[in-house]
Chains A and B, each alone.
Chain A
Amino acid sequence: MNQPSEKSLKRMRTYVQKYWEKTGTSPHPDKEVTEAVVMGLAANIDEVGRPLCPCNFYPDKKAELERSREWVCACDEMKQWKYCHCLLFVAPDGSPITEHLPEDHEGRQIYGLVKDPTPDKGREARFKVEGESDE
């Protein structure tokens, strides 16, 4: 993977900072984790034009974007359930928030129940989750 451009890096750093504030989430305590993800997102902007999540494997990134915006940051899981498996938007201790996930979701299986410290923020697409209403 090539080093991302300064322009894309700046765009992602600004976006991530604002999204922490908007959703009441925190950066991971290990700054290298955050930096790696931001670099990967920026590199994907340069490569395919969108900040595709760098914590997934895609056999074909362009085909993935034609299929769906599901894994464009902020991904559908983050917007619906406030769950970031990439550990970019997390609870203060670095754990991904799993409180809003369905119980059979792999995030709940792996991390257990991690409460949302700011339940009044984020989840802008919660209305898309079956059985929940957009209050």
Chain B
Amino acid sequence: MAENIAQVSDDSFDSDVLKSPVPVLIDFWAPWCGPCRAIAPIVEELAGEYTGKLKIVKMNVDDNPRTPARYGVRGIPNLILFKNGEVQQQIVGAVPKAHLVKAIATVV
């Protein structure tokens, strides 16, 4: 799962996400979350389509509890769009690709 997308950690979150010069979509996921698996191919597609415009990363919440707690993550998959270190949108669930594209359009 998520072979082509960088995994970020609690320790690297600030530098990888908050200080990113381009907007970031972070996908909070867990290994045994069914809808996380369902949405993974869509996130992979988006990573290819927005290369250079949007950074897409993933965080395993089982291994990295500090960041999801910081951003009030409950239901997963939980996708948060950041721009200049600020939360722009938070999307919960295995949403259709069009839903994500619409959200991404507000930050790129």
A residues sitting closer than 8 Å to B (CB atoms) are: 1, 28, 30, 32-34, 36-37, 39-40, 43, 54-57, 59, 85-88, 94, 106-107, 110-111
B residues sitting closer than 8 Å to A (CB atoms) are: 28, 30-38, 61-62, 65, 68-69, 73-76, 78, 91-95, 99
- In the bound complex, how far is the Cα of B76 from the Cα of A55, in angstroms? 5
Are A57 and B76 in contact, with the CB atoms below 8 A?
Answer: yes
Are B35 and A33 in contact, with the CB atoms below 8 A?
Answer: yes
CB-based closest 9 A-B pairs: A40-B32, A33-B34, A37-B34, A54-B32, A57-B61, A57-B68, A110-B93, A55-B33, A36-B34
Q: Which residues of A contact B32 (CB under 8 A)?
A: 1, 36-37, 39-40, 43, 54
Q: List 23 A-B contacts (CB under 8 A).
A: A1-B31, A1-B62, A30-B37, A30-B38, A32-B37, A33-B38, A34-B34, A36-B32, A36-B34, A40-B30, A40-B33, A40-B34, A55-B33, A56-B76, A57-B68, A57-B74, A57-B75, A59-B69, A85-B35, A86-B33, A86-B34, A106-B75, A110-B91
Q: Output the residue of A30, A56, A106 with the most chain B CB within 10 A.
A: A56
Contacts A36-B32, A57-B74, A86-B34 known; list 9 others, CB within 8 Å: A28-B34, A33-B35, A40-B32, A40-B33, A55-B30, A55-B35, A55-B75, A85-B35, A87-B38
Q: Which residues of B contact A32 (CB under 8 A)?
A: 34, 37
Q: Output the residue of B73, B75, B78 with the most chain A CB within 10 A.
A: B75
